[in-house]
Structure 1
Amino acid sequence: MSVFIGRDEQLASLGRHLAAVRAEGPRPGRALLVRGRRRVGKSRLVEEFIERSGVPHVYFTASRQPSAEELRLFAAEVAASDLPGAATFAAVTPSTWEAALTLLATTVPTDAPSIIVIDELPYLTGDDAAFEGTLQKVFDRVLTRLPVLLIGVGSDLAMMEALNAYGRPFHQRAQEMVVPPLSPLDVQRMLDLEPADAFDAHLLTGGLPLICQEWSPGLSMWAYLEQALAQSTSALLVSAERALAAEFPTEAQARRVLSTVGAGERTFSTIARKAGGLPQASLSRSLTQLRAKRVVAADTPLSTRPSRETRYRVADPYLRFWLSFLGPHLAEIERGRGDRVLARIRSSWSSWRGRAVEPVVRESLMRLPADARGGADGIVGGYWTRTNDPEIDLVIADREPVATRIEAVGSIKWLDGQPFDSNDLGALVTHRGQLPGAAADTPLVVVSRTGSSVSGPTVIGPEQLLAGWRRL
């Protein structure tokens, strides 16, 4: 089955950029920065686009080699490409990036479009402080005058965003594209699952195409897990390892903090304690780094009253699952005892899923129109206090982080065979009375995996949540 389920929007966008290059004008050259987390399919997407476009191209992937070796590999890649002047690089290896990029400009056609891709661009900008300025100079002076689409690809989200930031050499030279993971709806279509089961699959895979590819359509979650845990090289097992090795090659402390958050610790104080008694300054640095890389998210309560009760979570559902159940037990899997790991997942799945699904539910609700949420319009978040009394799953408000109006209060009940019932309703009404900004007539919204046995609140199920991901 095609990897590009759910990628039509990105392919169409790439096509529009290439169409702009085809247009006549004194400066047809365009630059595009493509970012997304590791193993989300950025490179494969660009490769597919190039194949469909049929235009001459060169695709170079940086690899954190010393500069001289990187330039040699670049020259070899250009020499092997189908650019009209590729043979120029067969006889020479430039000694600087300015020389290499300037010479590259002589290899592209002047009367037809071509594509130049630099993958893992942050490797070059991070290891060579002058590379950004060099790229900017060659782009401004030469490449913009040619029908070239220059595509920079990178997984270090913070560095990719910074490339186009104010004060940086490449500021406002490039447009940006974010390649997201496959959505729950994409996962459902790819794996041929029921709506509720599609959310389970999304929590396992994080919407990463490589993992979804090895999951046979129609296969249940437990059957897939049994297969994946029997193979120490399955994408489910190795994807997180490879991503973490690339993101944090030397930062052992950041990895330790991430593992602690992945194990379920959410507050600053408990993370510090469980991570080995880290000093406040050290933990702050690690959390700042993890947030900058978009690996950890920090949530704050949503109400009409300011709050500093920040809670941390692993942003990627798949990485959260891996850190909870797989990473700590890889040695066991390699010994052929994946059955033990599977048993642990079965025993903890319901409680783990109940919390892990909350961010996915909130994002799904954000995509639904107000009339599908009982008329409640605005931002979707949650509310809690230091003592968790109350802890409210859903708050819909007019703005964040401090609202002026609460539109709705809600609950998420994501259990098999247990619909939202009168006891749940009583608890929700009580919690509504404890939420700053809510009133006795503030509407109630319930998201339930298996429906509701009571009337009153607006009830939203898995199928309605998936509708929020449909592209109009």
Structure 2
Amino acid sequence: MGGFTGRERELASLDRHLRWVREGRGDQRGRALLLRGRRRVGKSRLVDVFCERSGVPYVTHQATRGEDPARERELLLAEVRQSSLPDVSLLAGVERTADWATALRQLAAVLPDDAPSIVVLDEFPWILEGDPVAEGALQTAWDRALSRKPVLLILIGSDLAMMEQLSAYGRPFHQRGVEMQLPPLTPYEVGEMAGLPAAEAIDAFLVTGGLPLIAQEWREGESREHFLRRSLEDPTSPLLVSAERALAAEFPAALQARHVLSVIGSGERTFTSIAARAGTADRALAPGSLNPALKSLVEKRLVAVDTPLSVKGGERDRRYRIADPYLRLWLAFFERGIADVERGRGRQVADSVERSWPSWRGRAVEPVVREALARLLPDEQWPNVHEVGGWWPRTNNPEVDLVGADRVPARGIGFVGSVKWHERTPFDRRDLAVLARDALAVPGASEDTPLIAVSRCGFEAEGLAAAYGPEHLLKAWLPE
């Protein structure tokens, strides 16, 4: 799978923003676009392709984390002088500026007045880390100079929380930019890229996390086993290095949060078990240390928090999981296997994945199934189901994979369900009997509550209100 694929919808969105500038639709001639998305999801590549195809002059500046602000401004002006902008001669001899306000005014001066242009500041949060004053300087430069030019200013950031805060009430750039989020490729898009049927497409999504750099390495029709084995023969493969590089950018120094992330990646889900595993042999990690680490990981969208869905609140029984399935796989198998791959023992790492794949996949696919059903519902059969989650008590027994409800916490339970994602075993009568028994434990459910099931390879049970297979789930991500 070569070339740039899978982002036609996002390129069209960028084209619409540029057309807005070109046609002068607003009271301001310029438009600021705040583009956010997690690391390695392809933001920079998307914007590079957009700029190359746009046919208008542009400049792109990639910020460097930890760079001295004065040096960062020098590099920006150097990029402007070497760009396709028409009036860069105005910066001849200008190599240094005293502050960001001056640098941005000089940038505005070289932008054309009568034709559209594009300015890209990549990893803008790193500029703000180095010099927080840059945020106010950008607001001033935008109000007084940049917005008066027909320019599309694109601010890119992987720090999702900081990018969201940029336009928040009370911040200098509030209501000055249009927000856009670049998500990972969907299971449907991964399947289309890899030429895989529905069940294998979902497996490929669990492996790649929808990251384009990894997904494009998947050969047409290639099996998961062969892809993993082939990728783990190469210590520089995107499958192996993408998470390592992303985490190095997220955690430039040794932090408690990084250790806690690995603990969650190893399979610990509750606050108590995470604290015990993250601590020492004789002492659990104190709440005063664990709580800030978890908060940081959730803000970075690296960790997701799940609560049991029922007519009772479930905040006290929350669970933690790695939000991205690829990172979940990497932390479970590849982080400790890097040294083996570098020694030429990648086959052993692939074998360890294969041995644990059924149990690992069974847990990892559940959030994907819930997301698919949440996208498909409500429908004619379930008109009142607006939330799809799971349920578990403090003891974790029983665990119910699927609960459909009207809201959180629920006023009414629409259905209770089970996910069986086995390679060859269908959902059968025994599975249905277990589901019927466990459903009665869900607060708000009763013997009359409809039962549903999700299975990778079919059903051999009567009495289900609905049955969903891989093909049905994949419809949740069909292009509109």
Relative to the length of structure 1, the TM-score reads 0.97
1:419-458 equivalences under 5 Å are: 419-457=426-464, 458=466
Q: What's the offset of the Cα at 1:127? A: 1.6
* 2:89 is the counterpart of 1:87: yes
- In the other structure, the counterpart of 1:382 is 390
CA-CA distance at 1:57 after TM superposition: 0.5
Q: Which residue number corresponds to residue 55 of structure 2? A: 54
Q: Distance in 2 between matches of 1:2 and 1:338?
A: 25
Q: Distance in 2 between matches of 1:212 and 1:9?
A: 18
CA contact (8 A) 1:34 1:177 kept: yes
Say which SS state the counterpart of residue 269 (structure 2) adopts: coil
Q: Give the CA deviation at 1:194.
A: 1.4
The total of aligned residue pairs comes to: 471
Decide whether the 8 Å contact of 1:257 with 1:275 is kept in 2.
Answer: yes
Asked whether the equivalents of residues 301 and 381 of structure 1 are also in contact (C-alpha less than 8 Å), the reply is yes
Letter of the 1:398 counterpart: D
Shift of 1:95: 2.9
SS at match of 1:456: coil
Asked if residue 131 in structure 1 is aligned to residue 146 in structure 2, the reply is: no
In structure 2, do the counterparts of structure 1 residues 320 and 152 end up closer, same or farther at CA, with 3 Å as the change threshold? same
Which amino acid in 1 is paired with 2:186? Answer: S
Instruction: Report how far residue 4 of structure 1 moved.
Output: 4.6
Q: Which moved more, 1:353-362 or 1:65-74?
A: 65-74
Which residue matches 2:7? 7
The equivalent residue for 2:179 is 176
Residue 329 of structure 1, CA deviation: 1.6
Q: State whether structure 2 residue 415 is matched by structure 1 residue 412.
A: no
The CA deviation string for residues 184-206 of structure 1, in whole angstroms up to 9 with x for no partner, is: 00000000111101111111100
Query: Does residue 39 of the first structure (1) align with residue 40 of the second (2)?
Result: yes
Matched, 1:347 2:355: yes
Q: Which amino acid aligns with 1:309?
A: D
CA distance 1:47–1:263, shift in 2 (3 Å): same
Query: What residue identity is the alignment partner of 2:74?
Result: R
* Segment of structure 1 superposing worse, 68-77 or 110-119: 68-77
Shift of residue 2, structure 1, vs aligned partner: 5.6
SS at match of 1:468: helix
Alpha-carbon offset, residue 441 of structure 1 = 1.7
Q: 1:257 to 1:384 in 2, by over 3 A?
A: same
Larger deviation: 103-112 or 260-269?
Answer: 103-112
Equivalent AA in structure 2 for residue 388 of structure 1: N
1:144-293 map, 5 Å: 144-276=147-279, 277-293=284-300
Q: Provide Cα deviations, 1:193-240, integer angstroms capped at 9, x if missing partner.
A: 111011111111000011112121111111111111110000000000
- Equivalent residue letter for 2:93: A
2:403 pairs with one of 392, 395, 408: 395
Q: Which runs of 5+ in 2 are unaligned?
A: none
Tell whether the 8 Å contact from 2:377 to 2:386 is kept in structure 1 after alignment. no
How far apart are the structure 2 equivalents of 1:128 and 1:390?
52
- 1:8-60: per-residue Cα shift (whole Å, max 9, x none)? 22112211111111123652111010000001001111111112211111000
Matching residue of 2:22: 22
Rounded Cα–Cα distance in structure 2 between residues aligned with 1:91 and 1:40: 38
- Among 303, 306, 325, the residue aligned to 1:317: 325
Q: Which amino acid aligns with 1:61?
A: Q
State the 1:374 CA deviation.
5.7
- Kept in 2, the 8 Å contact 1:85–1:107? The answer is yes
Check conservation: 2:388, 2:404, Cα contact below 8 A.
yes
SS in 2 for 1:415: coil
Aligned partner of 1:66: which letter? D
Cα distance in 2, alignment partners of residues 407 and 228 from structure 1? 43
* Structure 1 equivalent of residue 76 of structure 2: 74
Farther off after superposition, 358-367 or 437-446? 437-446
Alpha-carbon offset, residue 130 of structure 1: 0.5
Question: Is the 8 Å Cα contact of residues 31 and 173 (structure 1) preserved in structure 2?
Answer: yes
**Partner Cα separation in structure 2 for residue 421 and residue 89 of structure 1:** 73
Q: Is the 8 A contact 1:11 1:45 kept in 2?
A: yes
CA apart distance, 1:371: 3.7
SS in 1 for 2:335: helix
- 1:297 corresponding residue in structure 2: 304
Match of 2:472 among 444, 447, 464: 464
C-alpha separation between the residues in 1 aligned to 2:436 and 2:134? Answer: 58
Bigger drift between 187-196 and 65-74 goes to: 65-74
3-state SS, counterpart of residue 365 of structure 2:
helix
Aligned sequence identity (%): 55
Cα 1:411–1:373 change in 2 (3 A) is: farther
Q: Which moved more, 1:33-42 or 1:17-26?
A: 17-26
Q: CA RMSD in A?
A: 1.3
**Paired residue secondary structure (1:106):** helix
Q: 1:124 to 1:251 in 2, by over 3 A?
A: same
| CA shift for structure 1 position 376 | 6.0
Corresponding residue for 1:140? 143
Instruction: Give the 3-state SS of the residue equivalent to 2:358 in structure 1.
Output: helix
Instruction: Give, in whole Å, the separation in 2 of the partners of 1:196 and 1:271.
Output: 32
In structure 2, do the counterparts of structure 1 residues 48 and 2 end up closer, same or farther at CA, with 3 Å as the change threshold? farther
- TM-score computed with the length of structure 2 as normaliser: 0.96
- Match for 1:111 among 109, 114, 129? 114
Aligned amino acid, residue 235 of structure 2: S
Please give the alpha-carbon distance, in whole angstroms, between the structure 2 residues aligned to 1:271 and 1:125.
33
**Cα 1:360–1:201 shift into 2, 3 Å:** same
Deviations 1:242-297 (A, max 9, x none): 00000011142111100000000000010011112211110001000000101001
Indicate if the aligned counterparts of 1:75 and 1:90 stay in contact, CA closer than 8 A.
no
The amino acid of 1:23's aligned partner reads E
Segments of structure 1 that go 5 or more residues without pairing to the other structure are: none
Q: Which SS does the other structure have where 1:177 is aligned?
A: strand
* 8 Å contact kept, 2:384–2:406: no
Letter in 1 for 2:79: E
Q: Is the 8 A contact 1:392 1:410 kept in 2?
A: yes
Question: For residue 64 of structure 2, what is the aligned residue in structure 1?
Answer: 63
**Shift in CA distance, 390/26, structure 1 to aligned 2, threshold 3 Å:** closer
Q: 1:253 & 1:438 partners in 2: Cα distance?
A: 41
